[in-house]
Amino acid sequence: MGAADRPLTWDNDLKLSHPPTPQEVEATWEKYPDAAAALVVSPTPYGSCADLGAIARICHDRGKPLIVDEAWGAQLPFHPDTPTWAMSAGADLCVVSVHKMGIGFEQGSVFHLQGDLVDPVRLEHCADILSTTSANVMLYAAMDGWRRQMVQSGHDLIDRALALTRRVREQIEELPGLYVLEEELTSHEASHDLDIQHVLVDVSGLGITGYQAHDWLRENCRLDFGTTDHRRLEITMSIADDEWTVQRLMDGLRLLIDAAPDFPPSPPVLIPDEGELDLETVMLPRDAFFGPVEDIPIEESVGRIVAELATPYPPGVPVFLPGERINEASVKYLRSGVDAGMVLPDPGDASLGTIRVVKE
């Protein structure tokens, strides 16, 4: 299966990416008519969702499959008030991480397959190549137990989770210096829907970054978060939450508000403009990764072909992929991000003083 463009919609006001619009997918098919399939991430880690129904129709008009990375969508099939499940929207294949919005051990993920555009035998062979030969039965048992629970009680469990989420959103809105994003996400043309269980909180009103807030809450309140960036925290609400977890969250946020004035100033993160992170792919990833390489100072890397991943966590979306040509904006973004607290575990040099590139 070949890979081509990476269409996405950059929100220049919020400095984040939304899923591609149907129009962008249509334009990408026009540009790459021989591509094997379309791959769309929906929901995003920020909760915004693509118009998968329209995108599926565009793909099927060409006889091509739509594959959806629905890592954050395990709960979607079980309640009408959540965004549309990829398979209900007409996707041919979706991949779901049960361990995220469902209940399961980490690494617990499943494929959903329908229609005849994806060969199930080939899919099984591909999965076998990537899967362990020593499967952990606890992973399967946990996923099957969660599946049974959702069939029996899923609607009621999600009903309670959605009600709790709405209350959490209202309570956070009342806290000084914190702002919950909702209309800003749903009003953007690319965001067809919003999974409200992703509670996106802007902490910049406290004069701190999302990285600082995350580190402090984790160290002092034992609270962890799905996504953090230069100005936001993403609070993931699920069927596992209850009054006790909500109270811990609210207590932690109040303590953060009190502590924030004493935080040291954070270096600014140099966020690129639209399109500046859409790097040119000039080599096949495997050729760049397995070919002759060298480590050079990051300041000298502009124009070189990267040979390793550079992926800010969370949520784990790569900025550099092997085979891409490095530009100045991406270097400034990653270097300033690391200085501000961004976690970058993939490169051999996690401080990003050096980067591995293809040897010239």
* Tens of pLDDT, residues 133-156: 888 899 999 999 999 999 999 999
| Mean pLDDT taken over the chain | 92
Torsion region of 131: left, alpha or beta (phi above 0 gives left; psi -120 to 50 gives alpha): beta
Residue 297: pLDDT band with limits 50, 70, 90: very high
Residues 6+ apart with CB under 8 A from 77: 85, 87, 88, 150
What's the CA gap between 174 and 197, in Å, rounded? 18
Residue 331: pLDDT band with limits 50, 70, 90: very high
For Cα atoms 36, 86, 130, give the angle at the middle one, nearest 5 degrees.
55
Q: Does domain 9-139 have CATH number 3.40.50.2030?
A: no
pTM for this predicted structure:
0.89
Which carries the bigger pLDDT value, residue 269 or residue 313? Answer: 269
Q: What is the pLDDT of residues 68-83, one digit of tens each?
A: 999 999 999 999 999 9
Find the mean pLDDT for residues 230-239. Answer: 95
| Fold that domain 154-262 belongs to in CATH | Aspartate Aminotransferase, domain 1 (3.90.1150)
What are the boundaries of each domain within the chain? 9-139, 154-262, 285-358
User: Which residue, 47, 58, 110, 107, is CA-closest to 82?
Assistant: 47
Residue 2: pLDDT band with limits 50, 70, 90: very low
CA gyration radius for the chain?
A: 21
Look up the CATH number of domain 285-358.
3.90.100.10
